Structure 1
Amino acid sequence: MTATTYTELKGPTTARRLLTAPTTGPLAALLLACAFFSVTTDQFLSGGNFSLIVQQVMVVGTLAIGQTLIILTAGIDLSCGAVMAFGSIVIAKMAAQGSLPPLAAIALGLLVCAGFGLANGLLVQMVPLPPFIVTLGMLNVAFALTHIYSEDQTISNLPAPLTALGETFPLGYTDITYGSLVTIALFLLFAYALGSTAWGRHVYALGNSPESARLNGVRTARLTIGVYTLAGLTYGIAALLLISRTGVGDPQAGQTDNLDSISAVVLGGTSLFGGRGAVLGTFIGVLIVGVFRNGLQLMGVSSVYQTLITGVLVILAVTVDQISRKKAR
């Protein structure tokens, strides 16, 4: 085989793989959105505004990491926002009242959120119950506990360690929050775990076909429970980021973040049917949501229309995924 023939054979394959990658479409949409808002608004294309976008999406982005893990297994988690809110109240109240040192309060909040994830995983795997039903019920449980434990009071006067991730440092001509770096680091960590470890391969196998994964030696029950528990832990980290951004423990927080996290995952190219997607695609999806809302706000568009456009984008993303799945059969 000549070198020319080999290149001709290899070139189209590589190009086709790039064009059909789950993140290609979302990345193109993100770049087009940035180009559009750069032309239509004078304030969009600046370091300070991009820093603001990342700050605005870091909480939902961290929730979306856990949501991605669960959706890759063909599940879904409607409770993530409520669990995060309860975790933030536990951390804030324990630390503000002096019941625990700040770091111990943070650790307890992380454990509480991981416990919710563990409970979800056990119910999904051991009963078993559909993830939609389990997490819908857990949403109501976490929501009620948040309001009972907080007594519907916003918790303020928090110690410095709880708000440290909300502080900024200069980078070039803009300021970056430490919390933004934590979110980006988590995306990179989970991108590596899913793409370069046996655990990540098992997660994809579980989402594609639980029975095939089991026959190939994957301990599907333990893996499912572990995924939900790990997702709960990421919700605890999101709770800490939420406190650091707002400076308070707010019982009203997170009420739509579950839907926003699902939107980000879907917009990032992860299939709701499981087994296909990437956590870096979720990062792109989070940025798409953040860029659209920021750009439309700069244009003076009402928040109602921002929500409308986000909904349309989600429907389009799911439609594209469904069409691509049918063509792949």
Structure 2
Amino acid sequence: MSTVTATDHAEAGRGRGLPARAARFLALPAVGPLLALLLACVYFTVRTDRFLTGANLSLIVQQVMVVGALAAGQTIVILTAGIDLSNGAVMALGTIFMTRLAVSGGVPGVWAILIGVAVCTAFGVLNGTLVTMAKLPPFIVTLGTWNIAFALTHVYSNEQTITGLPKSLTFLGRTFPLGGTDVTYGSVVMLALFAVAWYVLRQTAAGRHVYAVGDDREAARLTGIPDRRLLLTVYTAAGAIYGLAGLLLVGRTSVGDPQAGQTDNLDSITAVVLGGVSLFGGRGSIIGALCGALIVGVIRNGLQLTGVPSIYQVLITGILVILAVSVDQLARRRRA
């Protein structure tokens, strides 16, 4: 007869525990998008030696920082089972307020920035109020406010691009050296925004309430979560984030452009979907949304470096979105 020792039991337990831990790790919402991002980077590294350079990687982050910031606001809305179609237009309106007040109105740069962010925040309050108090569908509400913000942008700007901005408005477009590579301050701000959002969503009671409301609003209300107040706070916070995205846009372009942001609402939703955030609410990770934005940036940059026409970049992005939504739908059916 063989003797089974305590050591044998411990080793067997560790053997069973390792696969379980690996399975739990792979089940994390951000793991799939992160692996997809790494695979895309490996593919383009093999295809061209110009991809994996400090300058090019810094450029990719610069190219996605505005949409990335919009995606952060979009994520917290979608986690509550909502959606925001107005974010690109609201951001553009905020940039026009910032730039025109600073250039034509003689308002100090800092105050112009605060007013621009306040305008975006006000639209967030409007969206949240109509969704919670009037009980209108988020899709309809934000489609309406998209049109309002778009019209106000063109009316207030007189259809003119605003140039000659003070340095206080373009500061985030400046660079600093990091490991021999120039990195913009705006890129750092965008990454810091995701870090703060991750902490709030994962480490605070308010963040857990966001997931609870998105998963089942009625059940969350019955447990004592103030769902209306939470949704109003979410849309308001999203509006403020869009204002920050506007400042990032001004820093990157150094102008106030009334034509900006026209497709950024769709780009932000694309980033969120590719990041594994469920459009049905209650599931996903803010870090996944960051990975989703970077996936789009990497694919577009890599295809451009390899000489693929830009129309195919749009085609591939569309295919990836459909695949991501299909995976989310299948996962939702399994849980049901």
TM-score, normalised relative to structure 2: 0.96
Match of 2:93 in 1: 86
* From 166, 170, 177, the counterpart of 2:177: 170
Offset, 1:11:
2.4
Task: Kindly provide the CA deviation profile for residues 35-84 of structure 1, in whole angstroms up to 9, marking residues without a partner as x.
Answer: 11111112101000000000000000000000000000000000000000
Match of 1:126 in 2: 133
Matched, 1:310 2:299: no
Matched, 1:235 2:242: yes
CA distance in structure 1 between the partners assigned to 2:210 and 2:107 by the alignment = 37
* From 44, 48, 53, the counterpart of 1:46: 53
> What letter matches 1:4 in structure 2?
E
SS of the residue corresponding to residue 264 of structure 1 reads helix
Task: Kindly provide the CA deviation profile for residues 126-159 of structure 1, in whole angstroms up to 9, marking residues without a partner as x.
Answer: 1111100000111100000000000100000001
CA distance in structure 1 between the partners assigned to 2:204 and 2:126 by the alignment = 26
> What letter matches 2:248 in structure 1?
L
Percentage of matched positions with identical amino acids: 62
Match of 1:186 in 2: 193
Q: Unaligned 5+ residue runs, structure 1?
A: none
Matches within 5 A, 1:26-41: 26-41=33-48
Match of 2:327 in 1: 320
Match of 1:266 in 2: 273
* From 136, 149, 154, the counterpart of 1:147: 154
SS of the residue corresponding to residue 283 of structure 2 reads coil
Matched, 1:294 2:294: no
CA distance in structure 2 between the partners assigned to 1:21 and 1:267 by the alignment = 15
How many equivalent pairs are there? 329
* From 117, 123, 130, the counterpart of 1:116: 123
Match of 1:138 in 2: 145
* From 215, 225, 229, the counterpart of 1:218: 225
SS of the residue corresponding to residue 248 of structure 1 reads coil
Q: Unaligned 5+ residue runs, structure 2?
A: 1-5
Task: Kindly provide the CA deviation profile for residues 236-271 of structure 1, in whole angstroms up to 9, marking residues without a partner as x.
Answer: 000000001000000000011000000001101100
Matches within 5 A, 1:71-82: 71-82=78-89
CA distance in structure 2 between the partners assigned to 1:221 and 1:289 by the alignment = 34
CA distance in structure 1 between the partners assigned to 2:145 and 2:21 by the alignment = 44
CA distance in structure 2 between the partners assigned to 1:169 and 1:23 by the alignment = 29
Match of 1:246 in 2: 253
Matched, 1:203 2:203: no
Offset, 1:23:
1.5
CA distance in structure 1 between the partners assigned to 2:54 and 2:224 by the alignment = 49
CA distance in structure 2 between the partners assigned to 1:37 and 1:21 by the alignment = 26
CA distance in structure 2 between the partners assigned to 1:278 and 1:267 by the alignment = 11
CA distance in structure 2 between the partners assigned to 1:182 and 1:23 by the alignment = 21
> What letter matches 1:120 in structure 2?
N
CA-based RMSD: 1.0
TM-score, normalised relative to structure 1: 0.98
Larger radius of gyration: 2
SS of the residue corresponding to residue 266 of structure 2 reads helix
Matched, 1:96 2:132: no
> What letter matches 1:25 in structure 2?
G
> What letter matches 1:285 in structure 2?
G
Offset, 1:300:
1.6
CA distance in structure 2 between the partners assigned to 1:144 and 1:37 by the alignment = 41
Match of 2:3 in 1: none
SS of the residue corresponding to residue 50 of structure 2 reads coil
Match of 2:114 in 1: 107
SS of the residue corresponding to residue 177 of structure 2 reads strand
